[in-house]
Structure 1
Amino acid sequence: MKKILILTAAAAAGLLALVSCRNAQEGDKVMARYVPERADDFVWENDLVAYRAYGKALEGNPTSPGFDVWVKKAGKLVADEWYKGAMDDPDYYHHDHGGKDCYKVAVSLGGGASSPIVNGSISYPPTNYRDYRIVEDTPEKVVFELVYPAWAAGEDSVALTKRITVTPGTQFCKAEDIYTGTFDSLTVAAGIIRHEVLGSSAGDNFVVIWEKASDQSIEPEEGQLGLAVYMPDADKAELESIGGHALVFKTITPGQPITYWFGSCWSRGDRIATSEAWNGYVQEFIASLQ
């Protein structure tokens, strides 16, 4: 796995700082890092939510460009602990240790990724993320990029650089996607794969899902998951859309950023226990951005 480091200017001090990824430290409220000990995963979390993207080592098994959602109780970072436990027991984080991985991605957008739409179908990258960049890494904020190399989307070539910002105290992360390539215009959808849905809602620029845990292969999970995507300048949103997803859509030109937020919750996570509460939280979050 190629690691790309970013030089950032500290203007006030007139210095340059080299930013690299690291394990979480005591007192950190956010983290993001490459996980070489577990098949090239890239994991990120704040004190409320956790996600991972799959890397090169898992391509073809199947290739899963979507985001995996980890659920947890509020208040602490868990990824380093769970990956350490998985060194001895590969299913460690599928068991409840104050949270777990009970979400199934397969070949989908998972819990908040994006891909082009070509001839009515999702044109997934044929690879998982291949490179990453840590742009900013502090105890209160992490910004990183995942790079997906060029692939054929219909008759055009497209490539994706996805920048994600993680801050504490929120169920949402911010995504800024930049697609480049040979296209004149490109329709992109960000969204959520639907599993056993118990409740849902949508507006012109958001989709909200409440569903049963979708991966119970290791142990039963009685809790439910809430998921949402909000794209302020979306062209439209569809709750029951392509490939079993709930999607928000935007048509762009090469290099035009797509900004959206993706979020999740767990009914056993001490904060949001019902579909109604999740819908209310999402609406309050959207209002806070306006």
Structure 2
Amino acid sequence: MHPVKAVDVDPTVARASTLSSSAYLDPAAYEQEKERIFGRTWQLVARADELARVGDLKPATIVDEPILITHGLDRTLRGFYNVCRHRAAQVVLSRGNRKSLQCPYHGWTYGLDGKLQVAREMEGTENFSKADYCLQPVRVDRWGPFIFANLDPQAPALREILGGIPDEVAAAGYDVDRMELVERRDYVINCNWKVYVDNYLEGYHVPIAHPGLFKELDYDAYRVETFRYYSKQHAPIRELKPGEEIGRDRRYLRLPGSEDKALYYWIFPNTMFNIYQDNMSSNV
């Protein structure tokens, strides 16, 4: 693998330029991103309703790394590398509810807390202690219904990464702890991940690509704010024009005491939250 050249980023928007094509196409660049970006950042891996009961578990991946989230007997959410300590087989293959985790290869069995409980036919083996062969932990944290994991034990805490987002969302009238999933959609997009992020981070395309949304927003008041680990885009909900009707011409209406803006948060590198008057959605 050849090294990827560093890029000088000019913070002055008037002098902004697109990254070189190699940043999107060079396999070496992507390999470095997997290690230096995705291996060190909080990734949205599950919803709280998927792990609501004691014994619930869900496998996931962060780039190429298989991980596992469990809801332990002590009602604690934990994360682990989904890799058996014996011969590196994947321990859990599908979401479910169990009291223990048995590797399908040689039957080594772990508790929901990751501790090795059973190692078949290892009795009498010298220099072997089950306490030394627990599943390797992965950091897990939660905001409302969103469960995140991070492979880097030294990364900043999720609360630090989110910054003012939780307080702003609460101030907008949303109780994230009471939110429930209404719909999920999966799209296969044939592009480098940064192309998708580039699209999300600008409202320039809204008047042309999203005419329905354009009718709802005061585009002239569209603003972008940047912070240490995230950015915020927001625009006021536009007032009704004469002759417009809710349900026919418009979906949203500015009402006293209600959130009067559309909010879009991007959390580095690839988590996005979209907040409107009647819903909140996430993109990953």
Please indicate the TM-score interval, normalised by the length of the shorter structure.
under 0.3
Larger radius of gyration: 2
More relative contact order in 1 or in 2 (CA 8 Å, sep 6+)? 1
Task: Return the structure number with greater helix share.
Answer: 2
Task: Return the structure number with greater strand share.
Answer: 1
